[in-house]
Structure 1
Amino acid sequence: MNRNLILFFALLFFATESYSQIIKTEKTDSTSNWVKGNKVGLDFTQISFVNWSAGGNNSISGLAKGNFIRNYTRDNMKWNNELVVRYGINKQEGQDIRKTDDQINLNSTIGYRRDTINKWFYGAKFSFLTQFSNGYSYPNVSKAISKPFGPAYIFLGIGAEYTRKDLGLTVYLSPITNKTTLVLDRRLSNEGAFGVDKAIYDETGTEIIKNGKLHRTELGALVSSQYKRKIMTNINLDTRATLYTDYLKDFGNIDIDWQIGIEMIVNKYVRANIGTHLLYDNDIKNKREVGGVQITEGPRVQLKQILGIGVEYRF
């Protein structure tokens, strides 16, 4: 995990340096059609006890994050790109370091509209999602339940996007979207993790006749939306939702990815953040430890809550 954390900070550093140089160059070109934005931040949470009668464990948490935007607009065409990276860890007294957040998310949308007053853009959307390091069902750290590119998700589709800049609202509708799930770790693919076809064993159940597939392809419909708004002075809301259903298997069974983030601005560099992340995917089976044994259950609604305060640098 330490190696992956170093990799994450290196990525933020080089992205910061390279994007800074680009921005400096673009500032001298008033005819540029590019709009660029970069945010890097670090949130901390720390709890310590001294002779505390109610008890408790000392703990410290950290979350490093980055958000990089590159949007191109020319006449009636637009091309929006966003990279989101997050990595969080927690250290409690008497426990090893544990991962709390891990995300690499790249989104790119290209669209064209008939005239400058039309709110509908017609085009294509690409999304990629994976993680930096292994994930575990703690306290078991000997058997990973997820890894980098195990899984990774790729969405590619065509459709239409409705944009209202005055309302901070964007809605994307795609009747044809290809979803590819990659599970490049052989053990996880043999187990049939994240919906890929699992390995075929002999009659004894010990020898593999055919390895599990490393990928799964689906064809379905995608609906995604984003709403960004200042709800009060120095308080901003950003909520994003994605709904996907497969035409070929379990049509009507909807995968859900819904994030809500509230940012409270203290000053130019200090921010407080409150957020929730809800996930549901019928192909992701819940895993937990029972008596030291890892068991696999059916799909579950996944919910993550985030509360942190830290520093953020925008450039």
Structure 2
Amino acid sequence: MRLFFKSSVFVLLFLSQLSFSQLIQTKLPDTISHWEQKNVVGFDISQIAFMNWNAGGNSSVSGLLKGNFVRKYSNNNIKWLNELIVRYGVNKQDGVELRKTDDTFQVNSTFGYRKDTISNWYHSAKFNFNTQFTNGYSYPNTDKAISKLFAPAYIFLGIGAEYVNKEKKLTVYLSPLTQKTTLVLDQTLANQGAFGVDKASYDVDGNLISKGKKSRTELGVLVTSGYKKELWKNITFENRMSLYSDYINNFGNIDMDWQMQLDLIVNEYVRANIGTHLIYDDDIKAKEEFAGEQITVGPKVQLKQMLGIGLVYNFK
């Protein structure tokens, strides 16, 4: 009897263990997430100080706070990539007010579908939103802002095809049908016709007849590309380029947004980076200071060069 009882207990334990193992095997695939996430925040700082320096120079300190947050869904033939990029930098020199050096708030989202798992081509839809956090000025003039939050803001929405090569870490997006919306939600800037919106109209006495429009819509072709490669150990190169041309207004006149960055990884938390950012947009008219007044001139190539070293923290 005792032997029978022990045997029965053993059999029950075995069956329960077997059932538990089968439960894990049947439930485990359902719990596997198709989402990937990446959260990176960093702070770069640079400083230079002079004391009795014969060659002269101004002491200065610069800081840049940045973040990159990615949410990616991938399941067989479906791919959905979402990215949030934020950057804000300032600089302070002796005898000069605090000045902004970087200001970006950008959201990117690309949804793609392919017919089979072999093809590198996806039928895709792309959304992009880009604006800034605080006012921008044509220094040293800080009385009149030349840009503000949502002035401008750019929205791209289109459909097309995207080539994705994971091995070469290369993506190319081609869209023959993309709507570009420019928002200038500050009425003062809208009245000036800033960033390509229709400006206000006035009578001969300078009285306002109609306010400037706060938005402008274009329809054109968009080409974007992204490339990332480890050139040497702990040295990574990343390239992003966007080209857009409007069908109706000056087709063939290309707006360009081109970023290149070289990351040098010191360790898990310390990195140095070198980068350039080039922008050309025919609708953005440059402003220059003449005799204490801001004069609007023609469009110009905008170029920014960055060099920094700082702390980086990755978390999930």
Fold shared by both chains (TM-score > 0.5): yes
Counterpart position of 1:287: 287
Q: Distance in 2 between matches of 1:71 and 1:265?
A: 24
Counterpart position of 1:222: 222
Counterpart position of 2:242: 242
SS at 1:285 equivalent:
coil
Instruction: Return the offset for 1:123.
Output: 2.0
Q: Does 1:303 align with 2:303?
A: yes
- AA partner of residue 282 (structure 2): N
Counterpart position of 1:95: 96
Deviations 1:184-211 (A, max 9, x none): 000000000000000011122x211100
Q: Distance in 1 between matches of 2:97 and 2:252?
A: 42
Counterpart position of 1:4: none
Deviations 1:95-147 (A, max 9, x none): 11000000001000001000001000002000000000000000000000000
Identity of aligned residues (%): 63
Structure 2 residues without counterparts, runs of 5 or longer: 1-29
Counterpart position of 1:111: 112
- Paired residues, what number? 286
CA root-mean-square deviation: 0.8
SS at 1:96 equivalent:
coil
Counterpart position of 2:213: 213
Q: Does 1:143 align with 2:144?
A: yes
Counterpart position of 2:9: none
Instruction: Return the offset for 1:291.
Output: 2.1
Mapping of residues 164-175 of structure 1, within 5 Å: 164-175=165-176
Q: Distance in 2 between matches of 1:228 and 1:289?
A: 40
Runs of 4+ displaced beyond 3 Å:
none
Structure 1 residues without counterparts, runs of 5 or longer: 1-28
Q: Distance in 2 between matches of 1:288 and 1:148?
A: 21
Instruction: Return the offset for 1:30.
Output: 5.1
Counterpart position of 1:274: 274
Counterpart position of 2:193: 192
Q: Distance in 1 between matches of 2:170 and 2:145?
A: 38
SS at 1:189 equivalent:
helix
| Larger gyration radius, structure 1 or structure 2 | 2
Q: Distance in 1 between matches of 2:278 and 2:81?
A: 25
Q: Distance in 2 between matches of 1:295 and 1:228?
A: 40
Counterpart position of 2:128: 127
Q: Distance in 2 between matches of 1:219 and 1:109?
A: 19
- AA partner of residue 224 (structure 2): S
SS at 1:298 equivalent:
coil
Counterpart position of 2:26: none
